[in-house]
Copies of this chain bind each other. A is one copy, B any other.
Amino acid sequence: MSTNATPGEVPEDLTKRVTSFVDHQVIPVEHEIETDRELLARLRGAARAAGVFAPSAPTEYGGLGLSMREQADVLEESGRSLLGPLVMNCAAPDEGNMTLLEHVATPAQRERYLRPLAAGDARSAFAMTEPAPGAGSDPGTLTTRAVRDGGDWLIDGRKWFITGADGAAFFIVMAGTGADAATMFLVDAGTPGLSVGRHIPTIDAGFTGGHCEVVFDRCRVPSSAVLGEVDRGFANAQVRLGPARLTHCMRWLGVARRAHEIMLGYVVKRELFGSRLADLGLAQHLIADNEIDIAASRSLIRTTAATLDERGRANHETSIAKTFVSEAVGRIVDRSVQLCGGQGVSHDLPLARFLAEVRPFRIYDGASEVHRWSVARRAVRRYEATRTGGTTHG
C-alpha cells in the first residue's frame, strides 16, 4: 500500500532474511518476553540491523515501503512468532494506522504521528468499536459524538475492545458528526477527558496494550486534530480497514504455519502402535488438510494483496480472504493441537496458547457471519447489475 513501492515480484532475499531473523533471533527467546524487560528493545535493534524493521512503513519515514503483495510474504514470516510482528514493527494496530496516516494525514500530522510510529518510538490505537447498543459490526449505530465548540471539537462517548489503548501515545477516534456521517480525530494520550479503562480480559494476550475500554468525556481537541475530511470518516477509514484485515491474515497465517511445524516436529518423533505417528493414516489426513489450508490461505492472501495494490480498494475480496483465512487458521492450529495429544493442550508446547490467540480472529475485524452477509449482498447486487455471467469474475 505504500506509495513508495512498486507492486510486483517480492524480493526473495528479504523474505529469507525475515525467516532467518525470526528463526534465529526471535523464536529462541520468545518465551522470555514477560521476564526480560529489555528484550523487545534489543530485538528491535536486531531487526533494524537485519533490515527487516517496519516493512509496511514508507521509506521516507524509515520503513521498507513494501507493497501489499510484498508484505504478504514478509508479514507471514514475521507471524511465525507471536512476538515477530511486534519486534519488526508491523503488528496491529500500528501497522494499519501507519497505512491510514500515510494516505489520509496532512504532512504535519504525518510528521507528528507517523514518524514516531514508523520508528517504533510510539504506539497507537484505533478507537471505533463501541459497547452495545453502539457501533460493533454495524457502524450506522455509532454513539460517540463530536460537536464543534468554537474552533475546537468536543468528543463524548464510550469505546471498547480498543486494541493497544494502554500505553498508546495517540488514538485515532471515530466519532459521529452528522446524521449518517462520522469524522476521524487524532487524540493524544493525556488529553483531558480521555481515559483508558480496564483491559477487557480476553483469551488472547498477544496484543501489547490489551483490548481496553476507553471513555471520552467532553474531550476537547483542536480542529487540526481532524484526520482526513470532516464527515468523511467512514470512507477514509476504508483505506485502513481492507488492508488491515489482510495484514491480519498474513500474520495469523504465520502463526498457523508455526503450529504446523511444531506438530510435524512432534509426529516424526512420537511412536504409536509401532509406527511413527507421522506415518499413520490417522495422522496423515490431518497433516494433508493443514497443508491444503495453508496453501489455499496463502494463495488467497497473495492474490487479494495484488488486487489491493492494483485497485487501492477491494472490500469484497478482503472480506472473503478474512473469512476464509481466519477459519482456516483456526482449523490448522486445532489439528496441530489434536495431533500432539495431551501435550497439545498443555502449555509444555505453545500450541495451546496459539489456540487461544487465534480464536478471536474469527470475531475481531468483523465476525465471519457479518462478512458472509456482506459478501452475499454484494454478490447478489453484482449479479443484478450485470445479469450476465460476469458476477463472480475477477
Contact = CB atoms under 8 A, between A and B. Distances in A.
Interface in A248-288: 257-258, 260-261, 264-265, 267-273, 278-288
Nearest to A362: B338
Contacts of A136: 272, 341-342
The A contact surface, by secondary structure, is helix
Contact of A303 (B258, B302, B338, B384): B302
Closest 8 CB pairs of A and B: A281-B281, A288-B372, A284-B376, A299-B299, A287-B376, A201-B347, A282-B369, A299-B303
Interface residues of A, number: 103
Interface in A16-58: 19, 22-23, 27
A260 B264 CA distance: 33
B132 A375 contact: no
A133 B363 contact: no
Nearest to A287: B376
Contacts of A258: 389
Interface in A114-165: 129, 132-133, 136-138, 140-141, 160-161
A262 B127 CA distance: 28
Given A299-B302, A300-B295, A363 B375 contact: no
Given A273-B138, A282-B369, A345-B359, A394 B265 contact: no
Interface string A360-386: 101110011111110111011001100
Contacts of A201: 346-348
Contacts of A303: 298-299, 302-303
A291 B346 contact: no
Interface stretch (A62-70, A235-243, A316-324): A316-324
Given A23-B388, A201-B347, A285-B282, A320 B295 contact: yes
A133 B138 CA distance: 33
A372 B256 CA distance: 19
Nearest to A264: B383
Contacts of A273: 138, 140
A392 B304 CA distance: 20
Copies in the complex: 4
10 contacts: A160-B342, A200-B346, A257-B391, A257-B393, A261-B383, A284-B372, A286-B369, A291-B316, A291-B392, A296-B299
B285 A285 contact: yes
Contacts of A394: 295, 298
Interface of A: 19, 22-23, 27, 80, 129, 132-133, 136-138, 140-141, 160-161, 200-204, 211, 257-258, 260-261, 264-265, 267-273, 278-292, 294-296, 298-300, 302-304, 316-317, 320-321, 323-324, 337-339, 341-342, 344-348, 352, 355-356, 359-360, 362-364, 367-373, 375-377, 379-380, 383-384, 388-394
B264 A379 contact: yes
A280 B278 contact: no
A260 B391 contact: yes
